[in-house]
Amino acid sequence: ATPIAILVGTGRGAQLGILVTGPEALEQAEKIDTVVLDKTGTVTEGRMALADVAVDGIAREEALRIVGALEAHSEHPVAKAIAAWRVGDAEITGFRNHAGRGVTGTVDGLAVFAGRPAFAASQGAVVSAALADAVASGEAHGTVVVAGWDGHARAVFAVADTVRPESADVIASLHELKLDVVLLTGDNASVAQSVADEVGIDRVVAGVLPEGKVDEIARLQAAGHRVAMVGDGVNDAAALATADLGIAVGSGTDAAMHASDLTLMRDGLEQVDTALRLSRRTMGVIR
């Protein structure tokens, strides 16, 4: 394509709310053969709602007070779902976010953790049989957060998200462009598979840590693929930067925008398809 065509394509993109934030984004976009999608907030709404709380040795209110106060410091959709139900007051110091794993902090003098089940184990917490059951049944339906302190898991939160209404149509349209579509998520395999089934994605890579997302993209590249990664940026900046084309969607974070080549102003997947088709038109591949 001529520089003029690229300029026109870039201008048309801006009108549509597709911002070119990295060099050669349109040239890269046209060469993509694989689109990797983050699940939470990208394929799904990312507006999670608390569906269930199981407790062990403490009252439900106490779990919501302590863990709610801690999660109020996190931007993650699962954290927002829990923090929405916080009750009472608690003093927090030393808050720390462990990307793609969970959070820790001191709440009213207790060293509290909240995160994916494996994160609870890494904190050395004992999980009772009753809470282990709550993890298993929670994971059958959605995302699970295990929280506790003093060497014990004390609460299990089950959190549910909904698939965005346009996701299935957009994925069908990407398949029409002969693109492979992969769902890549830190969430558990069963919720990932049910989202994939609902939207028509046939490859799922679940339970990965943020650095594992980078590895997965590098693996696809090593196998000769040109990879676009689409994410809302919560925990995904490194994967966006590694991909041949990083696409940050919607109300994502600044870190995501800086790591990406394209930034889509609207939430959801619709503009991913628009952007890839625009790049092909701009580069003269389709008309």
CA 189, CA 205: separation in Å to the nearest integer? 8
Neighbours of 175 (CB within 10 A): 15
Binding map of Mg ion across residues 164-203, x = CB under 5 A, - = no contact: ----------------------------------------
Least Å distance, CB 123 to ligand ADP, is 12
The owner of tokens 């809302």 is 232
Beta bridge mates, 118:
none
If the CB atoms of residues 28 and 260 are measured against ligand ADP, the closer one turns out to be 260
State the helix-helix crossing angle for 270-282 and 3-16, rounded to 10 degrees: 160
What is the spatial order of strands in the sheet that 152-160 belongs to?
A: 49-55, 152-160, 143-149, 110-115, 102-107, 92-98
Q: Is 39 in the site for ligand ADP (CB under 6 A)?
A: yes
Ranked by CB distance to ligand ADP, the top (closest) residue is: 186
What is the SS3 assignment for 144? strand
> Does 38 participate in catalysis according to the annotation?
yes
Strand bridging mode 203-205 / 92-98:
unpaired
Q: Which stretch binds Mg ion (CB under 5 A): 15-23, 176-184, 233-241, 258-266?
A: 233-241
Beta bridge mates, 157:
53, 145
Chain residues 89-148 in contact with ligand ADP, contact rule CB under 6 A:
100-103, 114-116, 143, 145
If the CB atoms of residues 60 and 96 are measured against ligand ADP, the closer one turns out to be 96
Binding residues for ligand ADP, rule CB under 6 A, total 23
Q: Which stretch binds Mg ion (CB under 5 A): 146-154, 164-172, 202-210, 228-236?
A: 228-236
Chain residues 38-67 in contact with Mg ion, contact rule CB under 5 A:
38, 40
CA 132, CA 126: separation in Å to the nearest integer? 10
Q: Is 38 in the site for ligand ADP (CB under 6 A)?
A: yes
Q: Is 246 in the site for ligand ADP (CB under 6 A)?
A: no
For 18, the enclosing helix (H) or strand (E) is strand 18-20
Annotated catalytic sites, by residue?
Answer: 38
Binding site for ligand ADP (CB under 6 A): 38-40, 71, 74, 76, 78-79, 100-103, 114-116, 143, 145, 185-187, 210, 234-235
